[in-house]
Amino acid sequence: MSESEQTSSVEQKMQQQVLRYEYVLEALSDIGDELCRVSSFDAQLKSLLHLLLGTLGVRKGGIFLFDNYNKRVSLRCSWKLVHKNFEYDLPHDEITALEADSADITYRAADYKHLRGILEAFAEDNLDCISILKVREKLIGFLVVGHKLKEIPLTEKEVSFLKTLSRNISVAINNFLLLSELREANVRLDEKIQEVSILYQASQMISSELQLQALLDMAMSAISEITDIERGTTWLYEEEHRQFNLMSHLGDASKLPENLSLEDSEILQIVAERKDTFEYEKGKSQPAELKRLDEKVFGEAFVVVPILNQGEFLGLLHLCATAGANGFTSRDIRLIKVFAVQLGAAVKNAQLYEQAITDGMTKLYLHRYFKQRLPDEIKRAARFKRNLALIMVDIDHFKKLNDTYGHQTGDEVLKHVASILRRAVRTHDLPVRYGGEEFALVLPETDMTGAVAVAERIRRSIETDFLEVNGVVIKITASFGVSVFSDCADDMDSLIKAADVALYWSKEHGRNQVTAAPAKIIREVE
Amino acid sequence: MSEEFSLSHQVDGPVLIIRTKGYLNDLGAEQVDEICSEHLEKSVNKIVINLEQSPLINSIGISILIGVIEAIEESGGALAFTNLTPTNRKTFEMMGLLQFAEPFDKEEEAVAKYKG
Higher pLDDT, A294 or A254: A294
What does the pLDDT average to over A187-196?
A: 86
What HEC string does A431-477 produce? EEECCCCEEEEEEECCCHHHHHHHHHHHHHHHHHCCEEECCEEECCC
Give residue A326's pLDDT: 76
Give residue A127's pLDDT: 95
Contact B64/A at CB under 8 A: yes
How close does chain A come to B82, measured CA to CA in Å? 20
Q: Helix, strand, coil shares of chain B as percentages rounded to 5? A: 45, 25, 30
Is pLDDT at B94 greater than 80 in this prediction?
A: yes
Average pLDDT, chain A: 89
CB of A496 closer than 8 Å to CB of A433: no
Give residue B1's pLDDT: 45
Distances (CA, A) of B61 to A26, B23, B29, B97: 13, 8, 7, 12
Confidence at B101, pLDDT banded by 50, 70, 90:
very high
For a pLDDT cut of 70, what percent of chain B falls above it? Answer: 94
**A144 beta partners:** A62, A130
CATH class of A212-356: alpha beta
**A394 beta partners:** A438, A479
For residue A59, the one-letter residue type is R
What's the pLDDT tens digit per position in A151-184? 999 999 999 999 999 999 999 889 888 888 898 8
Domain A367-525 has CATH 3.90.1150.10: no
Among the partner residues A16, A20, A50, nearest to B63 by beta-carbon distance: A50
The residue among B30, B37, B58 with the most chain A CBs within 10 A of its CB, best to mutate, is B58
Phi, psi of B47 (to 5 degrees): -125, 135
Is pLDDT at B4 greater than 90 in this prediction?
A: no
* C-alpha distance across the termini of chain A, in Å: 145
How close does chain A come to B27, measured CA to CA in Å? 7
Question: Which has the closest alpha carbon to A244: A266, A270, A268, A267?
Answer: A268
Among A141-145, A503-507, B35-39, which stretch is predicted with the lowest mean pLDDT? B35-39
**What is the pairing mode between strands B78-82 and B46-53?**
parallel
User: Which domains are present in chain B?
Assistant: 6-107 (3.30.750.24)
Residue of B nearest to A81 (CA): B67
Give residue A125's pLDDT: 94
What's the pLDDT tens digit per position in A438-461? 999 999 999 999 999 999 999 999
Is pLDDT at A253 greater than 90 in this prediction?
A: no
Range list of β-strands (E), chain B: 6-12, 15-21, 46-53, 78-82, 102-104
For a pLDDT cut of 70, what percent of chain A falls above it? Answer: 98
A46–B27: do the CB atoms touch at under 8 Å?
yes
Is pLDDT at A290 greater than 50 in this prediction?
A: yes
ipTM above 0.90, yes or no: yes
Higher pLDDT, A403 or A207: A403
Is pLDDT at B27 greater than 80 in this prediction?
A: no
Among the partner residues A19, A58, A148, nearest to B94 by beta-carbon distance: A19
Domain definitions of chain A by residue range: 3-180, 212-356, 367-525
Helix, coil or strand: residue B24: coil
Higher pLDDT, B60 or A481: A481
For residue A227, the one-letter residue type is T
Give residue A203's pLDDT: 80
Give residue A379's pLDDT: 94
Q: Is the peptide bond before B59 cis (omega within 30 degrees of 0)?
A: no
DSSP of A310-325, one letter per residue?
Answer: TTEEEEEEEEEEPTTS
What's the pLDDT tens digit per position in A133-159? 998 888 999 999 999 988 999 999 999
Contact A80/B at CB under 8 A: yes
Give residue A213's pLDDT: 85
For residue A40, the one-letter residue type is S
Q: Report the catalytic residues of A.
A: 437
Structurally, what CATH architecture does the domain formed by A3-180 represent? 2-Layer Sandwich (3.30)
B60–A59: do the CB atoms touch at under 8 Å?
no
Confidence at B104, pLDDT banded by 50, 70, 90:
very high
Distances (CA, A) of B44 to A229, A470, B15: 62, 109, 6
CB of A73 closer than 8 Å to CB of A118: yes
How close does chain A come to B32, measured CA to CA in Å? 14
Residue of B nearest to A49 (CA): B60
**Beta carbon pairs, A and B, within 8 Å:** 68
Judge if A3-180 and A367-525 fold alike in CATH terms: no
Dist CA A172 CA A44 (whole Å): 9
Among the partner residues B25, B61, B96, nearest to A149 by beta-carbon distance: B96
For a pLDDT cut of 90, what percent of chain A falls above it? Answer: 52
CB of A378 closer than 8 Å to CB of A494: no
Is pLDDT at A50 greater than 60 in this prediction?
A: yes
Among A332-341, A416-425, B3-12, which stretch is predicted with the lowest mean pLDDT? B3-12
Question: Which has the closest alpha carbon to A144: A127, A159, A161, A158?
Answer: A127
CB of B99 closer than 8 Å to CB of A57: no
B66–A58: do the CB atoms touch at under 8 Å?
yes
Question: Which has the closest alpha carbon to B46: B105, B88, B104?
Answer: B104
Contact B98/A at CB under 8 A: no
In sign, the C-alpha dihedral spanning A497, A500, A502, A504 is: negative
What does the pLDDT average to over B9-25?
A: 88
B66–A26: do the CB atoms touch at under 8 Å?
no
Dist CA A152 CA A150 (whole Å): 5
Higher pLDDT, A521 or A235: A235
What does the pLDDT average to over B15-33?
A: 84
Q: B14 burial class (0-12, 13-18, 19+ CB within 10 angstroms)?
A: middle
CB of A526 closer than 8 Å to CB of A492: no
A19–B27: do the CB atoms touch at under 8 Å?
no
Give residue A61's pLDDT: 96
Contacts of A149 in chain B (CB under 8 A): 66, 69-70, 73, 96, 99-100
**What is the pairing mode between strands A430-433 and A388-395?**
unpaired
Q: What is the largest CA-CA distance in chain B?
A: 39
Interface of A with B in 5-24 (CB under 8 A): 16, 19-20, 23
Residue of B nearest to A13 (CA): B94
